[in-house]
């Protein structure tokens, strides 16, 4: 039977001990989908929008990277990690949606799934923040892990 890794035998919360794990190259990719109503989407016209706060995409990308770097401070029991790289990409998709993809990389004893998920989440929230003046009918539809590699197992969403 599988057990939660962040609980000890008595059911108390613990940080996972990664001291005995081997260092390996690890990468994780996550995605967030942001649905924008037409009154917001029409401003993008196939590209980023400049606002008084700056470009929506560029600001969201920077916010996502900053969020990934602070994951250990935001999520209890996550190890604080010095990322080797974090990248965020935003594409305009069909159905008035933005597809945000975040990739985190590290050579370490622990993975970077939470960092990739945090980057995608914070980027999506930043898009919401920058566009809410046009409409509050913005929906962050899904945040999900797409893939991870390194460590004892790899994963790819099918």
Is 154 annotated as catalytic? no
Q: How far apart are CA 115 and CA 127, in angstroms?
A: 18
Distance of CA 63 to the CA centre of its chain: 10
Q: Which of 17, 129, 137, 154 is catalytic?
A: 129
How far is CA 29 from each of CA 77, 86, 113, 116, rounded to the nearest angstrom?
21, 10, 7, 6
As a three-state string, the secondary structure of 36-100 is: CCHHHHCCCCCCCCEECCEEHHHHHHHHHHHHHHCHHHHCCCCCCCCCCEEEEEEEEECCCEEEE
Distance of CA 135 to the CA centre of its chain: 24
Residue recorded with tokens 């990719």: 29
Helix, coil or strand: residue 115: helix
Radius of gyration from C-alpha coordinates of the chain: 17
The catalytic residue positions are 129
């Amino acid at each position: 039977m599988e057990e939660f890794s962040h609980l000890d035998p008595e059911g108390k919360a613990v940080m996972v001990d990664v001291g005995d794990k081997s260092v390996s190259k690890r990468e994780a990719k996550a995605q967030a989908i942001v649905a924008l109503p037409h009154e917001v989407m029409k401003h993008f016209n196939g590209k980023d929008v400049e606002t008084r706060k700056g470009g929506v995409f560029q600001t969201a990308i920077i916010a996502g990277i900053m969020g990934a770097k602070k994951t250990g401070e935001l999520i209890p029991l996550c190890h604080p990690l010095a990322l080797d790289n974090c990248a965020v990409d935003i594409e305009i998709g069909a159905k008035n949606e933005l597809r945000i993809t975040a990739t985190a990389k590290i050579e370490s004893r622990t993975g970077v799934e939470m960092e990739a998920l945090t980057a995608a989440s914070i980027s999506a929230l930043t898009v919401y923040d920058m566009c809410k003046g046009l409409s509050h009918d913005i929906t962050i539809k899904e945040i999900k892990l797409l893939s991870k590699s390194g460590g004892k197992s790899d994963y790819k969403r099918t």
